[in-house]
Structure 1
Amino acid sequence: MPHPIAFTTTGVAPEAFSPTEGRILRGNPQQQAWNHYTDPTGQFSAGIWQGEPGAWRVLYDPHEEEFCVLLEGRMTLTADDGTAQSFHAGDAFVVPGGFSGVWENHTRVRKHYAIMALQKKNET
């Protein structure tokens, strides 16, 4: 029987990573994620993410949607058309599928995330 899952970093090993070198625009944006849940299909995941200051290019798959709630820090998302939106601790936002632009952490950022990444069905 499924049960609710609490988000704590206790007992969950973080995964450390950084954007690929060609996507980093400035800084050394080292990142960690504590993934607390992945559904049986592998299409939905949720947990805690933390990133250090820096800026890097992002490209979300057309079928990848992310809901974020900032727990700590300040950051800006700038779309390829130049539209920028800034967020700080306490803000919630969605990054829609197909978003392309720059993710910039002005400070260390920590967030809750929930990502739905649908597998594209084969079209025949």
Structure 2
Amino acid sequence: MVGIIRIPHDIMGNTPEHVASERVVAGTPMQTVANAYSDAGNAFHCGIWEGEVGAWRVSYAEHEFCHLLAGCVRLIGDDASETTLRAGDSFVIPAGFEGIWEVLEPARKLYAVYEPKPDDGHALG
């Protein structure tokens, strides 16, 4: 029988790690991930992420749902779109998004990530 898996909002992640230097745009951002669940096919993951002030380049192959628990972030698309999100906001970053992830205030989010595999019928065209 499959059981329900709770995702506590107060779980602590691994030791904070620097964002890869080749992706950093501003600051010396650190991030921590506490992955709470991954499916057997390793395509779906969820947990808690924390990030410190700074900005870095992102390129999403996965779809990500986020609920910001604390802090403030700004997503700047390569198309010049700009979205600022604050604690309490929920949002989706679709696969194919490219741009800059900027943490304006130390942030903590609940995430659920789905990365389509080429053979599952949901891959990007």
Deviations 1:2-60 (A, max 9, x none): 211112355x7526433211110111110001100000100000000000000000001
- The residue correspondences of 1:48-87 to structure 2 (distance < 5 A) are 48-61=48-61, 64-87=62-85
1:21 aligns with 2:18: no
1:112 is aligned to 110
SS of corresponding position for 1:106:
strand
Letter in 2 for 1:53: V
Matched-pair contact (CA < 8 Å) for 1:72–1:108: yes
Deviations 1:46-95 (A, max 9, x none): 0000000000000011xx10000000000100000111000000000000
Give the 4+ runs in structure 1 shifted more than 4 A. Answer: none
SS of corresponding position for 1:102:
strand
Unaligned runs of 5+ in 2: 121-125
Letter in 2 for 1:101: G
C-alpha separation between the residues in 2 aligned to 1:52 and 1:94? 21
Would the alpha carbon gap of residues 75 and 13 (structure 1) be closer, same or farther in structure 2, given more than 3 Å must change? closer
C-alpha separation between the residues in 2 aligned to 1:67 and 1:48? 12
Matched-pair contact (CA < 8 Å) for 2:13–2:32: no
* Alignment: residue pair count: 119
Unaligned runs of 5+ in 1: none
Would the alpha carbon gap of residues 118 and 15 (structure 1) be closer, same or farther in structure 2, given more than 3 Å must change? farther
Would the alpha carbon gap of residues 13 and 57 (structure 1) be closer, same or farther in structure 2, given more than 3 Å must change? closer
TM-score by length of 2: 0.88
Give the % identical residues. 39
C-alpha RMSD over aligned residues: 1.7
TM-score by length of 1: 0.89
